[in-house]
Structure 1
Amino acid sequence: MKTILIIEDERAISRVLKVYLEKAKYEVVQAFDGDEAVHLLQTMQPSLVLLDVMLPGRDGWDLLNYIRERSACPVIMLTALGQTQQKLMGLNQGADDYITKPFVAEEVVARVNAVLRRSTPMAVHPQAKVFGHLKVDFKAHLITLHGVELTLTPRDLSLLLFLAQHPNQLFTREQLIECVWGLDYEGSDRAVDLAIKRIRQSLIHWPATQGEIRTMRGLGYQFCVYEPR
């Protein structure tokens, strides 16, 4: 499930967008000022950002620059400013689209769909990835650390393979259950926590300088990998 970050200080507008985007099967996270948005952007990797220009604290232009310095995440600007010059400014600074208020929520959803279609490349998954001393062979369903095969239950193995296929991406418990174990899974979502605990134990000798499975409190889990310096 793709995650949309709405950065909008008008709570009524944010609530309406959240309802329509969730109806379109998106996960939605909300921020109501620039500082809150920066905190979220430091702890998650949204699929797309809906960004209001006029915000308390850091404004939309500042946040757009902040995002562009760190990622190619698609950004759609939301603003009451309808002048052509303002639209060109946003597009020239790296925005992917620009919607002027007042708008129809269905139009925003359609624009989100269109921008994501344009920005999502065809998935080409390698057969194996190496993260320092950790090697993950997706084709053979084999994971080795320092050349020694890890012994994992099928469920834990499938979870680690999925996380390794998506390094540095944040997933909620619900997303992991849906993507890894399937919608017909009937157990508690706490099973994800227990599986992560067992996986971490198996990775105890993986150097912390190379990577880790990080808990984002209240948000989910992230398979973090670090580039060598």
Structure 2
Amino acid sequence: MTEHILIVEDSRELAKLVSDYLAQAGFRSHCLHTGETVVAWVREHNPRLILLDLMLPGCDGLTICREIRTFSQVPIIMVTARIEELDRLTGLELGADDYVCKPFSPREVVARVKAVLRRSEELNNHGTGAKSGSLQLDPAKYEARIDSILLPLTVVEYHLLALLAAEPGRVFSRGQLIERIYPDQRTVSDRTIDSHVKKLRKKISEACDRELIHSVYSAGYKFDDR
């Protein structure tokens, strides 16, 4: 396992501790301790995953996440002491793929990193270049296009769309979506799935002025491109 993980954490001791645990698990990592240099570093080095502290000197994690999402779909795990659900949903709305609250066990962080990367690999194994009507999916690049228009999706949004589009017409409950997209099921609620679907629908509508993901009352969601 040679994935390069970027750790953005103002506490040098905590960053070193997490880095040591990641190294034991076979990951290479790089640490940044202020917010100003993060975006430029990500542009240059293209990490496999980012552990991003929410409260940083210079530039906060939510602002950094928002800017990264304008050019990259790299998986982002937010790390923060804010435990309120509103803060959690805000991070996910901006494109974070998971959320870890302080204080935490370094082993938990390693487990989250593995889970996010494993999710990506498992969904990639469903096939490359899958198509459903005008929708085209490229799991190698986490790219989705509608009528050749590229959708600016987060990794989680891509996984959600790919899962629904793989079985058009099938209704997935929120629990099934959580189980398939978030295998560990931690810090994930029905509202989180609803938030992702809302963002996904908006991006699809802006690209093609159509509704491809439909709500089924009291049941869940389904993909239908008819």
- TM-score of the pair, normalised by structure 2: 0.53
> Which residue in 2 is equivalent to 1:118?
119
Aligned counterparts of 2:52 and 2:100: Cα–Cα separation in 1? 10
> Which residue in 2 is equivalent to 1:7?
8
Identity percentage of aligned residues: 42
CA offsets, 1:3-22, max 9 Å, x none?
A: 00001111111010000001
> Which residue in 2 is equivalent to 1:73?
74
- SS of alignment partner, residue 111 of structure 1: helix
Deviation for aligned residue 1:41: 1.1
Aligned counterparts of 2:5 and 2:108: Cα–Cα separation in 1? 15
Deviation for aligned residue 1:48: 0.3
Letter in 1 for 2:87: Q
Q: Decide whether the 8 Å contact of 1:78 with 1:101 is kept in 2.
A: yes
> Which residue in 2 is equivalent to 1:32?
33
- SS of alignment partner, residue 98 of structure 1: strand
Deviation for aligned residue 1:38: 2.1
Deviation for aligned residue 1:123: 9.8
Deviation for aligned residue 1:67: 1.3
Deviation for aligned residue 1:36: 2.1
Letter in 1 for 2:75: P
Aligned counterparts of 1:33 and 1:107: Cα–Cα separation in 2? 23
Q: Decide whether the 8 Å contact of 1:74 with 1:119 is kept in 2.
A: no
2:18 is the counterpart of 1:20: no
2:57 is the counterpart of 1:62: no
> Which residue in 2 is equivalent to 1:94?
95
Consecutive unaligned residues of structure 1, counting only runs of 5 or more, are 126-229
Aligned counterparts of 1:54 and 1:43: Cα–Cα separation in 2? 23
Deviation for aligned residue 1:117: 0.9
CA offsets, 1:208-229, max 9 Å, x none?
A: xxxxxxxxxxxxxxxxxxxxxx
Correspondences of 1:175-194 after superposition (within 5 Å): none
Equivalent residue pairs, number: 126
Deviation for aligned residue 1:91: 1.0
Aligned counterparts of 2:34 and 2:74: Cα–Cα separation in 1? 19
CA gap of 1:123–1:4, structure 2 versus 1, over 3 A, is: farther
- SS of alignment partner, residue 35 of structure 1: coil
Q: Decide whether the 8 Å contact of 1:77 with 1:97 is kept in 2.
A: yes
Aligned counterparts of 2:70 and 2:4: Cα–Cα separation in 1? 20
> Which residue in 1 is equivalent to 2:54?
53
Letter in 1 for 2:27: Y
- SS of alignment partner, residue 78 of structure 2: strand
Consecutive unaligned residues of structure 2, counting only runs of 5 or more, are 129-226
